């Protein structure tokens, strides 16, 4: 286990043969990227880590997308897009050490910021997670003060409008398979 959360398996020559950063689930960590044709899928709840109803996908066209899955037929219902479809080459979603969440094109150019850098005094760890409620949140944990901050940036929907909101808690679409696509507008 490396200091930044990547669990790595080495062969007899110390070459990496497998690492968790190559197989993201619902979270990306510092230094990790979501590359073309990969996706993050939320857990069904905070206590059950079976696959839930929401995903964040990076298709080959470079347009980062969030969607709800309909059961039993698996159709995508997109509720947010990065509008970076015309980016050249494959686009990467990155989380860096300054808590910046952004999209890079093939040439390494920053084509869209999804968060604003916030200064946290001391050492901090960051993670970006698509939570069970379908909201993509950036979290921080201050190692010096043992504090935990939720929702530095939130991407979700409210009354069919896309928004970015700094908040401690937000609600979105129900993740229960038995319920329909319900928007909480409170």
Task: Using DSSP bridges, classify how beta strands 147-149 and 38-43 pair: parallel, antiparallel or unpaired.
Answer: unpaired
How many domains are there within the chain? Answer: 1
Domain extent for 136: 29-164
- Measure the CA–CA gap between 126 and 142, rounded to whole angstroms: 9
Q: Which of 130, 36, 31 is nearest to 85 (CA)?
A: 36
Let me know if residue 23 belongs to a domain.
Answer: no
CATH code at position 106? 2.90.10.10
115 assigned to some structural domain:
yes
- In a domain, residue 1? The reply is no
Assess if residue 7 is contained within a domain. no
Residue 150 has pLDDT above 50, yes or no: yes
Let me know if residue 143 belongs to a domain: yes
What span, in angstroms and rounded, lies between the C-alpha atoms of 107 and 57? 21
CA separation for the pair 23, 38 (Å, rounded): 9
pTM to 2 decimal places? 0.70
For residue range 105-141, list pLDDT tens digits in order.
888 888 888 876 665 555 777 888 898 888 888 887 7
Q: Compare 43 and 159 and report the one with higher pLDDT.
A: 43
Q: Give the integer Cα–Cα distance in Å for 113 and 72.
A: 35
Asked, for residue 116, whether it belongs to a domain, the answer is yes
Nearest to 140 by CA among 157, 117, 112: 117
Within a domain: 77: yes
Q: What are the tens digits of pLDDT across the range 66-79?
A: 888 766 555 666 77
| Residue 112 placed within a domain | yes
DSSP string, 62-77: S--EEEEEPSSS--EE
Can you tell me the distance from the alpha carbon of 23 to that of 56, in angstroms, rounded to the nearest whole number?
14
């Amino acid at each position: 286990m490396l200091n930044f959360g990547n669990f790595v398996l080495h062969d007899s020559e110390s070459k990496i043969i497998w690492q968790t950063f190559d197989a993201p689930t619902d979270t990306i960590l510092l230094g990790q990227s979501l590359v073309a044709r990969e996706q993050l899928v939320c857990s069904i709840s905070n206590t059950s880590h079976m696959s839930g109803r929401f995903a964040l996908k990076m298709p080959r066209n470079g347009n980062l997308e969030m969607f709800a899955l309909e059961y039993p037929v698996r159709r995508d219902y997109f509720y947010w897009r990065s509008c970076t479809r015309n980016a050249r080459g494959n686009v990467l979603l990155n989380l860096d050490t300054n808590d910046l969440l952004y999209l890079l094109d093939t040439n390494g150019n920053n084509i869209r910021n999804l968060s604003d850098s916030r200064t946290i005094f001391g050492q901090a760890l960051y993670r970006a997670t698509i939570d069970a409620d379908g909201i993509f949140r950036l979290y921080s944990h201050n190692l010096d003060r043992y504090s935990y901050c939720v929702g530095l940036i939130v991407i979700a929907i409210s009354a069919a409008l896309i928004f970015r909101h700094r908040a401690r808690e937000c609600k979105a679409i129900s993740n229960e398979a038995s319920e329909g696509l319900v928007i909480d507008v409170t």
